[in-house]
Chain A
Amino acid sequence: MKICVLVKEVPDAAVQKRIDPSTMRLDRGGEKNLNPFDTHALEAAMQIKEGGAIPVEEVVAVTMGPGSAVRALHKAVALGADRSVHLSDDALSGSDVCATGYSLAKVLESESPDLVLLGQQSDDGECYTIGAVVADHLQMPSLTQVIKIDVNDGKLRCERQAEYGYDTVEVELPAVISVGDAINEPRYPSLKAIMGAKKKPLDTKATGDVGIDDGMVGEAGSKTTVLALNPPPAKEAGEIIEDEDTNETVEKIVAWLDERKLI
């Protein structure tokens, strides 16, 4: 079977993120990284491939984004993907969740995967939703926030935490599964894999190559619009103690608790 893994380049967690006030969009300049949740999706793909319960011919990393997003694809192939696909087109700029999900579904459709894996959330704010949007467009079953995948008789047996405890769900292929960070411990790429990453095939596709209707994407095709940005309601800042002398720190904590009649 063929596994496609959706990956995304996000601002590095250590960098202060900001919104560009002129466009009301996230300023995507500065240091970038492969979304940490996506590394768990790649690892899950590699474990299915190496597990042998079902033959996997190919793991393909897929992303959507500007030219710089190829770096996320290089990291993805260094982590084990066989090749990568980059959907890149000026028409896509400013796409919201609805438009992004549609675009990703279109580029995935051109690959006809048996399984689509992705991280359940991205560091830059799109949480939990993209997998389910993509799945409905592809008319595939889907499950999000999965923390365990077993392959049995050509089906997936998935576990996740839902509202009332742990759910176990059997999912037929083809399917779209988003994973949480508890699913595995991603491997580190070898130096050889990093060096070889740029040699693996990378296809760049424009919207027209995968049948995307430009009217449904970008800012004009989006179904939400940011009307204003405001600071959050002010909250009185709490007191901060740096622990230098632990006995003194403990005394301060006990006094604080005592003052509030908590002990």
Chain B
Amino acid sequence: MAGILVYALHDDEGNFNKNSLGAISEAAKLAGEIGGDAAALVVGGIADDACAGLGKYGAAKVYRAKTVPEGLAQPIVDAMAKVITDEGISYALFGGGLLGFEIGAGLTARLNAGVTMEVTEVKVQDGKLVSERPILQDSQIADVGYVGEIGIIISRLNAFDIKETGGSAEVVDVEVELSPWSTKATMVQRGEQRGADVNIEDADILVGGGRGLGAAEGFKLAEELAESMGGAVAATRAVVDAGWYPYAAQIGQTGKTVAPKLYLAAGVSGAIQHKVGMQNSENILAINKDPNAPIFEFSDLGVVGDLHKIVPKLTEAIRAKKAG
């Protein structure tokens, strides 16, 4: 049987990741075109009805590996490799995120299969899947095909829309024997939140702060500007990892995805990992002293200059305008 297997990631409360749900919807659409079904793989003790509920997004079958732990890649490689081999599945699809990269890469080795990363679109050519992958800072799109029996597709975050088509999936329990090396990494703590809890997903206006703010204290500038506009402050991974700002405010590959009315990027270079989390903002305004910063390639208004000079004056001007 041809068919596409999607890894459905979940958090410790059992909520499925929306990028996984988008990947299931995409798999259902593609499976219809190449012949075969979309299936999902779930690990851990997720309840029957929650698994069957993935049918709503297009999964015909859900394989559940109850004894395989969630959160680390290698045990899940064991589970996916078993299902793909036993069921004769042709493609594995991942909705982006760190675990998708790791599991997909592990499967590449295990199954001697082709892999493409950062995929933004998948199409069908001659009954086979072809991935579109932006390369060289998104300056070109490569169409990549797979040689051999199995292809592995790791998408970029938010590449696929969730489509609720209704239906219920058949739930099949699978017994998975873990490889000896898969049990040699153990989760000590998962999903620790560091720093204050802030809500950036509901804000209409976000000021995003990056390394260009210079230091943790630089965020004061971003906060004052955000306050003048009634918005909130978001951050890049680099500054969160450096401890300048709380994790809850992080946008991008391993952080949150936002689409505010205005995203004002202050000292943000605009690396792909950040771009995927904010590129759907309605208006993007960037202030950066480096004229070659990638952010200017997808900004509606780009200001080349020193944010330490511009931002305080901008805050003042907006306050004055609002007061007047």
Chain A residues at the B interface, C-beta cutoff of 8 Å: 17-19, 24, 26, 96-98, 101-102, 105, 125-137, 139-145, 147, 157, 160-172, 175, 180-182, 216, 222-232, 235, 238-243, 246-247, 249-251, 253-254, 256-258, 260, 262-263
Q: Cβ of B127: which chain A residues have Cβ within 8 Å of it?
A: none
User: B191–A231 contact, CB under 8 A?
Assistant: no
Q: In whole Å, how far is A27's beta carbon from the nearest beta carbon of chain B?
A: 10
Name the interface residues of B281-298: CB closer than 8 Å to any CB of A.
Answer: 283-285, 291, 296, 298
| List of B residues within 8 angstroms of A243 by Cβ | 303-306, 309-310
Which residue of the partner chain A has the closest CB to B284? A238
A173 to B136, CA, bound (A): 36
Residues from chain A with Cβ under 8 Å of B147 in the complex: 222-225
Given contacts A136-B109, A163-B17, contact A232 B139 (CB under 8 A): yes
- Can you name the residue of chain A whose Cβ is closest to the Cβ of B241? A182
Q: Identify B97's interface contact among A163, A181, A228, CB under 8 A.
A: A163
User: Could you tell me the distance in whole angstroms from the C-beta of B52 to the nearest C-beta in chain A?
Assistant: 23
User: Which of these, A127, A161, A227, contacts B237 with CB under 8 Å?
Assistant: A161
Contact in complex: B113, A98 (CB < 8 Å):
yes
Q: What secondary structure prevails in chain A residues at the interface with B?
A: mixed
Is B220 positioned at the interface, with any CB of A under 8 Å from its CB? no
In the bound complex, what is the Cα–Cα distance between A247 and B316 (angstroms)? Answer: 11
Q: Indicate if the CB atoms of A228 and B142 lie closer than 8 Å.
A: yes
User: Size band of the B side of the interface?
Assistant: 35 or more
22 A-B contacts, Cβ less than 8 Å apart?
A: A101-B105, A128-B102, A128-B117, A132-B106, A144-B102, A161-B250, A162-B190, A163-B9, A164-B11, A165-B191, A167-B189, A175-B185, A216-B112, A225-B144, A232-B138, A240-B304, A241-B301, A253-B310, A253-B317, A254-B321, A262-B261, A262-B262
Q: Is the CB of A167 within 8 A of B187?
A: yes
What residue of chain A has the Cβ atom nearest to residue B303's Cβ? Answer: A241
In the bound complex, what is the Cα–Cα distance between A263 and B283 (angstroms)?
13
CA distance A18 to B182 in the complex (A): 39
Residues of B participating in the A interface, judged by any CB pair closer than 8 Å: 9, 11-12, 17, 71-74, 77, 97-99, 101-106, 108-110, 112-118, 125, 130, 134-148, 151, 154, 179-182, 184-194, 205, 229, 237-238, 240-242, 247, 250, 254-255, 261-262, 283-285, 291, 296, 298-306, 309-310, 313-314, 317-318, 321-322
- Given contacts A163-B99, A243-B305, whether A222 and B114 have CB atoms under 8 Å apart is yes
Identify the 4 closest CB pairs spanning chains A and B, nearest first: A243-B305, A223-B114, A182-B241, A132-B105
Interface of B is mostly: mixed
Nearest opposing residue in chain A for B283, CB measure? A260
Bound together, the chains give a CA A36 to CA B309 distance in angstroms of 31
CB distance from B98 to the nearest CB of A (A): 5
Give the nearest-CB partner of A253 in chain B. B314
Q: Is A230's CB under 8 angstroms from B186's CB? A: no
- For B103, the closest partner residue in chain A by CB is A132
* A222-B114, A226-B142 known; A133 vs B109 contact (CB < 8 Å): yes
Q: Is the CB of B141 within 8 A of A102?
A: no
Within the complex, which residue of A130, A182, A246 is in contact with B313, where a contact is CB–CB below 8 Å?
A246
Residues of chain A with a CB closer than 8 A to B247's CB: 161, 165-166
Are the CB atoms of A136 and B191 closer together than 8 Å?
A: no
Pick the residue among A18, A105, A129, A182 that contacts B101 (CB under 8 A): A129
Q: Report the separation of the CA atoms of residues A73 and B73 in the bound assembly, to the nearest whole angstrom.
A: 31
Residues of B within 8 A of A132 (CB): 73, 101-103, 105-106, 109
Please measure, in the bound complex, the distance between the C-alpha atom of A232 and the C-alpha atom of B141, giving whole angstroms: 6
User: With A131-B105, A139-B181 as given contacts, are A169 and B145 in contact (CB-CB < 8 Å)?
Assistant: no
**Is B302 touching A241 in the complex (CB atoms < 8 A)?**
yes
With both chains docked as a complex, state the minimum distance between the C-beta of B264 and any C-beta of chain A, in angstroms. 9
Chain A residues within 8 Å of B137, by CB: 17
The chain A residue sitting closest to B242, CB to CB, is A182
Q: How far is the CA of A247 from the CA of B147 in the complex (A)?
A: 59
Q: Looking at A98, A105, A168, A224, which has the most chain B CB atoms within 10 Å of its CB? A: A224
- Asked if B310 and A139 sit within 8 Å, CB to CB, the answer is no
Pick the contact of B98 from A140, A162, A226, A247 — CB < 8 Å? Answer: A162
Contact check: which of B106, B193, B284 meets A135 at CB < 8 Å?
B106
